[in-house]
Structure formats: C-alpha cells, structure tokens
C-alpha cells in the first residue's frame, strides 16, 4: 500500500506573551525520509508565533518544490462547540465564519503581544452579555465580561463545554481541556484564538494545494486519490496522545518534554502511514450518526487519533 504522505510536521503552538525558548514554548517536529527512504526527524524551537508561522511556511515551500505531500498537525482547537457561530450571529458555514471572525478581531504582534483576552471578553459580551462561556484571565486582564475564575455551576448551561471530540477522548480516559478556559495549566482557549487566524493565513498562502481535515475532506477514510492533488493536509492533533520518551543526545543533554512530544507525534504518524493504518484514522467512528458527522464536518472538527 502506497504511503499517503512524504513528510509529517507537528507544531506545538503557544499563547505566550513575550519571547521565550525552551520548555512549554513553540516547538515544531518534522519527520521525513532521506534519499534511501529512511525515516529521520528534526525539531525546531522558535521564540515567537511569527517565527513559527514563517518556519512552517518555509518548510512547506521546500517540500512543495520537491513534489512532496505533507501532513501538518497543530495542537489547538480548529473549531468551537456546536452553536458558537450561531450565538455570535455569524453568517455562512460555521467553521469558516468563525475563522473570519477571529482573523478580523485578533491582533498578534511580532513580539507575541496580543489581544486574546479582549477578544474572549468581546465574544462573551456578544454571546451572553455575561462573563461566560470564556473564563479564566490573569487579574490584570479581568473585566466585566471575563473573570479570573470559572463561572458558577449552571451559568451558560445551554452552551456545550466541550466539542464531541473532547467528549470522546474523555470516554477513553484522556483529559482534554475545554476551549472556554483561557488561562491556567493546559488551557487551550487563548491558544485557539491565536492559532485559528494563523491557520487561515497559512491556508491563504497555500491556496488550492492545501485542505483541512475533516472540514474540506469529509470525516472519512482517505485514500491516495484523495490526497494526490494536495501538497499539504492540515489536521488537529494532540501530541500527548502519543507516548513520548525523552531522548538523550551524544552530549548527554535530554530533550525538552514538548520537543519529545512533537518529535514522537511526527514519527508515530509516519509509522502509521508506513503500516497502512493512517488512512483509517481519518474516518468517523462506526457509532457516529449523520447529525454528529454534519456537526464535526461543518463546525467542530476532530482530533486525529481520538
């Protein structure tokens, strides 16, 4: 069975303010094959999101010149829980409408300063005129529509806390976070608000040569014919799904945890592709009904491997 991809790029994004390298910063892992088709990996650490965006664009341009197909994974939520776009009164297909809304509202400067808390507060005001569903901000960013603590039990009860993919992960005893949490350990809210506009810019650059699973491809098993016209297929990943072991290099220096995670995720997806099992990972679970498939394909998205 032919492989679907020639290279695999996994990015662990960041919502950091200020420039920083090392643990819990922006890491990119790349798995690719040498001239003898042997798999090898490299990792990159950059201090800002702007540098990360440029790095990924350069890597994709390099592979495109060689005629490679690349699987690109990011670790933020590509979509929001069902009904979010409707609550914001956005027109059009929910996933695309949310992307346009965030791209128009988020300001993310080259030094990593950004307005993610202000945008979360604006979305709360538009959706509920209360400090929810987004919650969690440093004291310096707290205001009427965004508080430091989780809303009281039952507040915004009609708004789902999780997407279907997080609920599925929880059934597998995996602990994903809700997109509504903006601050604190493992929070993905700010990451998503900053990541989605970057993803839109990347897709605008790539044009028709790129697609996003499952929004552009459908939530189904993908074949070589499906990916053959593409130079890049972009997916949502959760690097912690893959069992990363930190390596020690020849100088006795141990990998950072995040570095090991992006490397392992890229290697694991390459190995699945070699084994012919990656194709099936794109398919909906057998238990998914038509309503769930429509919800995932039009608004929420899905984490590859859940």
Report pLDDT digits (tens) over 89-133: 999 999 999 999 999 999 999 999 999 999 999 999 999 999 999
How much of the chain, in percent, has pLDDT values that exceed 90? 85
Pairwise pLDDT comparison (113 vs 36), residue with the higher score? 113
DSSP β-ladder status, 26-33 and 7-12: antiparallel
> How far is the C-alpha of 102 from the C-alpha of 100, rounded, in Å?
6
Report pLDDT digits (tens) over 169-225: 987 777 889 999 999 888 999 999 999 999 999 999 999 999 999 999 999 999 999
Q: How sure is the predictor about 1, in pLDDT bands with cuts at 50, 70 and 90?
A: low
Sheet holding 26-33, edge to edge: 39-46, 26-33, 7-12, 70-74, 232-236, 210-212
Q: Tell me, rounded to whole angstroms, the distance of Cα 95 from its chain centroid.
A: 14
């Amino acid at each position: 069975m032919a492989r679907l991809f020639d290279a695999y790029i996994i990015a662990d994004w960041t919502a950091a303010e200020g420039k920083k390298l090392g643990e819990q910063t922006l890491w990119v892992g790349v798995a690719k094959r040498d001239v003898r088709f042997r798999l090898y990996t490299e990792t990159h650490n950059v201090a800002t999101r702007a540098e990360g965006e440029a790095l990924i664009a350069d890597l994709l341009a390099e592979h495109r010149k060689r005629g490679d197909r690349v699987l690109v994974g990011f670790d933020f939520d590509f979509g929001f829980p069902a009904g979010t776009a409707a609550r914001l009164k956005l027109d059009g297909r929910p996933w695309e409408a949310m992307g346009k809304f965030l791209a128009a509202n988020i300001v993310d400067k080259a030094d990593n300063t950004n307005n993610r808390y202000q945008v979360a507060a604006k979305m709360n005001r538009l959706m509920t005129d209360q400090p929810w569903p987004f919650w969690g901000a440093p004291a310096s960013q707290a205001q009427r529509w965004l508080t430091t603590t989780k809303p009281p039990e039952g507040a915004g009860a009609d708004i789902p806390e999780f997407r279907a993919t997080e609920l599925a992960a929880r059934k597998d005893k995996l602990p994903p976070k809700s997109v509504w949490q903006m601050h604190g350990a493992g929070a993905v809210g700010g990451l998503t608000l900053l990541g989605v506009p970057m993803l839109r810019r990347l897709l605008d650059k790539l044009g028709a040569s790129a697609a996003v699973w499952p929004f552009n491809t459908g939530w189904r098993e993908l074949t070589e014919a499906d990916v053959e016209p593409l130079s890049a297929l972009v997916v949502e990943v959760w690097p912690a799904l893959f069992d990363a072991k930190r390596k020690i290099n020849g100088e006795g220096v141990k990998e950072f945890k995040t570095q090991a995670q992006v490397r392992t995720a890229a290697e694991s997806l390459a190995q699945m592709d070699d084994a012919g099992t990656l194709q099936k990972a794109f398919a909906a679970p057998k238990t998914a009904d038509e309503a769930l498939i429509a919800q995932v394909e039009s608004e929420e998205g899905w984490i590859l491997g859940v």
